[in-house]
């Protein structure tokens, strides 16, 4: 989200699929703003022949589209210059992920929207969740349908407001059957292919999760370190979160690693657990010093692994691993900690409290799992 | 049961090996891995007292950023790397796994070669229906990669360490990938 006060306010209407009512709601809110005395125009509208949507646009000024000729075809596009010249207070722009025809100022519509916002004009826009770059692969796997038009997650994450248009899968199918989304000849095909209950349920889950993660990111904008939820002490040592700031909604895993080859196994095992739980995974190395050459090499490998897995690699400096892990776990809302098998205790280490014992004491209510070294299983005396 | 000092010594030996030992890069592609090629790499590693670096090469579709998470390929990578580690443990070979992304398999291979320290590369060539690198990729490797390169041509009846590429990623519990280690 931009801190520039001269920049326009961007509100995104996010949906799980076509037909949930994003454009309708955008127009409805635009009309309300108009009625409140603001200068509102439609910068671009794609009603898809839906009568309800077209009716909702009535009375709103429309900035005429420009026509772009590409390979002997005339394509209607949003007229960015005309919007900037008209300079309304609020501009409604449909289909944020749209790819512009060649020859237009920007390749993508979200870039046009960025320019409009830079001009100090507020924007309402719409997009479906499957257009977000980071989700397109996952959603293609879930639904069997890949969208070609994507936009960086940062566009939605950076919006001033995101409103999720949520509707049950059955209600959406009912709207489809009633001819409110597609013309009659496309209804049966849509019901049998993309708009199946399974697809819509998965898309709904992804949408809800996306918005929930956005809320968490706003609450804790610096990647969470030092920005955790307030914690109130309670009699008996039990920690409770401030009820005014609800924190972890689901599970969140924290894997403690060191920059060694063996740590990759802990990350992999933690990721599998995170997948089963539908949880986020944080990977933490508590470094006593700057990494040496060998550790740096291992960190590069760990970073790549975490990046592919979608896990968050954190490096914190400190001498007390358990204390740092406790702080990070509190800040991230961790519910589950994974560690590798502790090295055999010898010499002075025998006098220290083992790490698992310390973690259990410092993190009451957090599950602790010690990841076994399966490569040594054959050595076990069984 | 081994006394604790024996375990400590074994770990120390392994750590030392991981730091100073020769390194054998073993790049491979999903969805299947030739067991014989892997065994050949492991035999070489054991003979050289070397560390095996199995590098999972993940092609990233052009419509996605190169550094974006790849949950589907990650599932295959995690299952394969764990299977390789278990097999390597049977050979007594330490493993230092890698995962490299690229726009194509060859691009990922090029990045792996650029990023990794290694003394030798072992690759499986695709032949007779066995999984591996295409002849043009092998030729490219021979022309461009420094160091010793061992190209293994798997047998027609090679046992595969196979990952089911058709299995859709689900939101529910992860299903263990079938691994054909008999």
How far is Cα A60 from Cα A33, in angstroms, rounded to an integer? Answer: 11
Q: Is B103 exposed, middle or buried (0-12, 13-18, 19+ CB in 10 A)?
A: middle
> Quick check: B96 and A265 CB within 8 A?
no
Q: Any idea of the CA torsion for A239, A240, A244, A247, to the nearest 10 degrees?
A: 90
Nearest CA to CA, how far is A149 from chain B (Å)? Answer: 9
Helix or strand holding residue B37 (H, E): helix B35-48
A136-140, A143-147, A217-221: range with lowest mean pLDDT: A217-221
- Residue A168 has which token pair? 């049950």
pLDDT in tens, B105-156: 899 999 999 989 999 999 988 876 667 888 899 999 999 999 899 998 876 6
Does B111 touch chain A if contact means CB atoms closer than 8 Å? Answer: no
Helices (H), chain A: 22-35, 51-57, 80-86, 109-118, 133-143, 153-157, 169-177, 184-192, 197-219, 263-277, 293-309, 321-332, 355-362
Max mean pLDDT among A65-69, A104-108, A188-192, A283-287 falls in A283-287
Nearest CA to CA, how far is B69 from chain A (Å)? Answer: 4
Higher pLDDT, A372 or A98: A98
Nearest CA to CA, how far is B169 from chain A (Å)? Answer: 6
> What is the bridge-based pairing of β-strands B160-162 and B32-34?
antiparallel
- At residue B123, the 3 state secondary structure works out as strand
Helix or strand holding residue B109 (H, E): helix B105-115
pLDDT in tens, A4-42: 778 999 999 998 888 888 998 899 888 888 877 899 999
C-alpha to C-alpha distances, A251 to A51, A202, A313, A372, nearest whole angstrom = 43, 19, 17, 22
Q: What is the pLDDT of residue A352?
A: 78
Which of A264, A276, A294 would best serve as a mutation to test chain B binding (most B beta carbons within 10 A)? A264
Nearest to A46 by CA among A127, A165, A118, A158: A127
Does B9 touch chain A if contact means CB atoms closer than 8 Å? Answer: no
Band of pLDDT at residue A147, cut at 50, 70 and 90? confident
Work out the percent of chain A whose per-residue pLDDT is above 90.
36
**Cβ-based contacts of B1 with chain A (< 8 Å):** 381
A49 pLDDT more than 70: yes
Q: How high is the mean pLDDT of chain A?
A: 82
B31 cis-preceded (ω within 30 degrees of 0)? yes
Mean pLDDT of A123-142: 83
How far is Cα B169 from Cα B175, in angstroms, rounded to an integer? Answer: 9
C-alpha to C-alpha distances, A363 to A180, A282, B46, nearest whole angstrom = 53, 16, 43
Nearest CA to CA, how far is A381 from chain B (Å)? Answer: 5
For residue B52, the chain A residue with the least C-alpha distance is: A261
Cα within 13 Å of Cα(B25), Cβ side: 26
Max mean pLDDT among A184-188, A217-221, A362-366, B47-51 falls in B47-51
How far is Cα A201 from Cα A194, in angstroms, rounded to an integer? Answer: 11
Q: How many helices (H) and strands (E) does chain A have?
A: 13, 15
Higher pLDDT, A176 or B16: A176
| Residue that has been written with the tokens 């025998």 in this structure | A350
pLDDT in tens, A80-94: 999 999 999 999 999
B residues 126-165 near A, CB within 8 Å?
none
> Quick check: A138 and B169 CB within 8 A?
yes
**Closest in A138, A150, A265 to B71, CB measured:** A138
Band of pLDDT at residue B2, cut at 50, 70 and 90? very low
Nearest CA to CA, how far is B178 from chain A (Å)? Answer: 15
Nearest CA to CA, how far is B132 from chain A (Å)? Answer: 22
A47-51, A225-229, A290-294: range with lowest mean pLDDT: A225-229
Cα within 13 Å of Cα(B96), Cβ side: 30
Mean pLDDT of A226-254: 44
**Nearby residues of A375 by Cβ (< 8 Å), 6 or more positions away:** A265, B85, B86, B88, B89, B95
**Cβ-based contacts of A378 with chain B (< 8 Å):** 89-90
> Quick check: B99 and A308 CB within 8 A?
yes
**Cβ-based contacts of B99 with chain A (< 8 Å):** 301, 304-305, 308
Q: What is the pLDDT of residue B26?
A: 95
Residues in chain B: 182
Kindly state the greatest CA–CA separation across chain B: 55
Is residue A172 within 8 Å of A194, Cβ to Cβ?
Answer: no
pLDDT in tens, B44-101: 999 999 999 999 999 887 767 788 788 878 888 898 998 899 899 999 999 999 999 9
Long-range pairs of B169-174 with CB within 8 A, sequence gap ≥ 24: B169/A138, B169/A141, B169/A142, B169/B71, B169/B72, B169/B75, B171/A142, B171/A202, B171/A205, B171/A278, B173/A276, B174/A272, B174/A275, B174/A276, B174/B75
Band of pLDDT at residue A214, cut at 50, 70 and 90? confident
- Residue B75 has which token pair? 């599932």
**Cβ-based contacts of A294 with chain B (< 8 Å):** 19
How far is Cα A239 from Cα A363, in angstroms, rounded to an integer? Answer: 9
> Quick check: B63 and A378 CB within 8 A?
no
For residue A143, the chain B residue with the least C-alpha distance is: B168
- At residue A132, the 3 state secondary structure works out as strand
A182-191, B42-51, B149-158, B164-173: range with lowest mean pLDDT: B164-173
Band of pLDDT at residue A349, cut at 50, 70 and 90? low
Q: Which strand ranges, in their side-by-side order, compose the sheet holding A336-340?
A: A312-317, A280-287, A252-257, A336-340, A367-371
Does B11 touch chain A if contact means CB atoms closer than 8 Å? Answer: yes
């Amino acid at each position: 989200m931009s801190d520039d006060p001269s920049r326009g306010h961007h509100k995104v209407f996010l949906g799980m699929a076509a037909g949930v009512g994003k454009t309708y709601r955008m127009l409805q809110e635009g009309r309300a703003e108009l009625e409140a005395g603001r200068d509102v125009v439609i910068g671009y509208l794609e009603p898809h022949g839906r009568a309800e949507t077209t009716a909702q646009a009535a009375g709103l000024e429309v900035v005429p589209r420009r026509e772009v000729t590409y390979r002997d075809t005339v394509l209607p596009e949003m007229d960015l210059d005309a919007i900037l010249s008209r300079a309304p207070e609020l501009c409604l722009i449909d289909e944020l992920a749209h790819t512009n025809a060649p020859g237009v100022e920007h390749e993508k519509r979200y870039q046009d929207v960025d320019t409009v916002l830079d001009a100090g004009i507020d924007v309402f826009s719409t997009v479906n969740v499957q257009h977000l770059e980071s989700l397109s692969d996952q959603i293609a796997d879930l639904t069997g349908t890949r969208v070609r038009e994507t936009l960086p997650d940062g566009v939605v994450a950076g919006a001033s407001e995101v409103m999720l248009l949520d509707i049950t899968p059955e209600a959406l199918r009912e709207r489809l059957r009633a001819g409110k989304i597609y013309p009659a000849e496309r209804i049966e095909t849509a019901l049998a292919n993309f708009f199946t209950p399974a697809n819509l349920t998965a898309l709904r889950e992804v949408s809800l999760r996306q918005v929930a993660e956005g809320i968490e990111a706003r609450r804790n904008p610096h990647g969470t370190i030092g920005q955790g939820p307030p914690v109130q002490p309670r009699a008996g040592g039990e920690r409770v979160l401030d009820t005014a700031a609800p924190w972890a909604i689901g599970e969140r895993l924290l894997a403690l690693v060191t920059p060694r080859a063996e740590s990759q196994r802990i990350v992999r095992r933690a990721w599998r657990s995170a997948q089963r739980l539908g949880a986020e995974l944080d990977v933490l190395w508590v470094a006593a010093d700057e990494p040496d050459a060998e550790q740096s090499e291992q960190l590069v490998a760990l970073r790549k692994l975490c990046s592919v897995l979608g896990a968050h690699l954190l490096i914190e400096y400190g001498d007390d691993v358990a204390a740092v892990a406790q702080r990070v776990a509190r800040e991230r809302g961790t519910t589950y900690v994974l560690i590798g098998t502790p090295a055999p205790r010898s010499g002075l280490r025998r006098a220290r409290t083992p790490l698992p014992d310390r973690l259990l004491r410092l993190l009451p209510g957090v599950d602790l799992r010690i990841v076994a070294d399966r490569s040594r299983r054959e050595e076990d005396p069984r | 049961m081994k006394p604790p000092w024996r375990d400590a010594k074994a770990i120390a030996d392994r750590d030392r090996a991981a730091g100073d030992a020769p390194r054998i890069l073993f790049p491979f592609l999903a969805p299947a891995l030739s067991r014989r090629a892997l065994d050949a790499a492991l035999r070489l590693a054991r003979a050289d007292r070397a560390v095996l670096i199995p590098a999972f090469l993940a092609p990233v579709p052009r419509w996605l950023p190169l550094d974006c998470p790849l949950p589907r390929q990650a599932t295959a990578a995690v299952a394969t790397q764990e299977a390789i580690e278990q097999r390597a443990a049977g050979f007594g070979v330490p493993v230092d796994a890698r995962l490299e992304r690229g726009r194509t398999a060859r691009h990922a291979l090029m990045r792996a070669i650029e990023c990794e320290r290694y003394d030798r590369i072992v690759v499986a060539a695709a032949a007779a229906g066995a999984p591996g690198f295409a002849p043009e990729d092998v030729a490219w490797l021979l022309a461009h990669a420094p160091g010793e390169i061992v190209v293994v041509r798997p047998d027609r009846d090679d046992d595969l360490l196979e990952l089911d590429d058709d299995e859709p990623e689900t939101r529910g519990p992860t299903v263990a990938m079938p691994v054909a280690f008999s």
